[in-house]
Amino acid sequence: MLRFTIDNCGDPVSPDEVKQCQVAMLSALADFCEENGLRYYLDGGSLLGAVRHKGFIPWDDDIDLILPHPDCIRLQQLSGGQLGRYLIRPPEIDGSFFAESWKMYDPEYIIESDLDGASSKKYYYPVFLDLFPMEGLPNSDAETARWYRRTVFLRKLLYCLTGSFWHGRTLPKKIAHGLMRPVVSIIGGERLFLFLQASKEHLAFDQADYVGNMSGPVHTVDSKVPKAEYLKSVSLPFEGRDYSAPGNYAQYLTQLYGPDCMTTLPPPEQRKTNHNFKVYRYKETHPAEEDDL
């Protein structure tokens, strides 16, 4: 993955410019997918924003997409990991950082993040789009729930390796993180990461009747939907252009956000971003290093 430091942070960038950067990435990705027969769909808050606002939810600050797992792999292969200046990277682990989803990066803009207040350590990485892989799920809801519980457990173990030693938003989480970190270090981050990825990919997408997002920590079993209905793509507007959306987006959004989400705004106290970061224009001081993962 690309590594940056505070020395690579140039002039501050406004939230509006960051959104323009993300929309440009989305457009480039959509062009490539449509030219190469790859399936992609607006997901999460971006899907809800397309339905309710025809673009970003006013207090949102990122774009989420989801692709069937086989299409994620084909995207990586066909693009060679790059679309113009944008970089495509698969799920990866690098020391104390791990990413479960594919990422599309714009290295012209650098994020400074403290993991939304959970770490005293600062991280520096390019502005990105999350490209979540959609995985095959069992028909049984009980078995699906077991799969997600296993995934959440492995993810929490990996979180014990991230950030500073006293990592967490609350004192109990900081204590648990500190106590578990030596134990998880013995198991090994790479080994846990492989277990996590294998757990999610147990049932091949093409063999499944149901599918869902297993790489997004915000949603779990509520993202499970019938595959045949989901894949009947429809077009929805997002910031001036139509993009692919799930055929059963109404069912999908209702499961994620509630029955009135497409027509009713949340209470004022909930109209805020979940992220805490600053963005700067990239400043070259020395060539950025990239691990050969």
Residue 233 domain-assigned?
Answer: yes
Give the residues across from 113 on adjacent strands: 123, 277
pLDDT averaged over every residue in the chain = 90
For residue 232, give its domain range. 2-133+219-287
pLDDT at 1: 58
Query: What is the tens place of the pLDDT at every residue in 240-267?
Result: 999 999 999 999 999 999 999 999 999 9
pLDDT at 118: 59
pLDDT at 293: 36
Q: Do residues 66 and 249 touch, judged by C-beta distance below 8 A?
A: no
Instruction: Write down how long the chain is.
Output: 293
pTM of the model: 0.90
Domain with 127 in it: what CATH number? 3.30.460
Query: What is the tens place of the pLDDT at every residue in 190-223?
Result: 899 999 999 998 899 999 999 999 998 888 899 9
pLDDT at 123: 85
Backbone dihedral region for residue 81 (phi beyond 0: left; psi -120 to 50: alpha; all else: beta)? left
Residues of the chain with pLDDT under 70: 1, 95-96, 115-120, 163-166, 168-169, 275, 286-293
Residue 107 domain-assigned?
Answer: yes
Residue 147 domain-assigned?
Answer: no
Residue 45 domain-assigned?
Answer: yes
Segments of the chain assigned E as strands:
2-3, 9-12, 41-42, 64-68, 82-83, 86-89, 92-94, 97-99, 102-113, 123-137, 210-213, 225-226, 234-238, 241-245, 277-282, 289-290
Residue 213 domain-assigned?
Answer: no
Total domains in the chain come to: 1
Residue 177 domain-assigned?
Answer: no
Residue 254 domain-assigned?
Answer: yes
pLDDT at 292: 45
Residue 13 domain-assigned?
Answer: yes
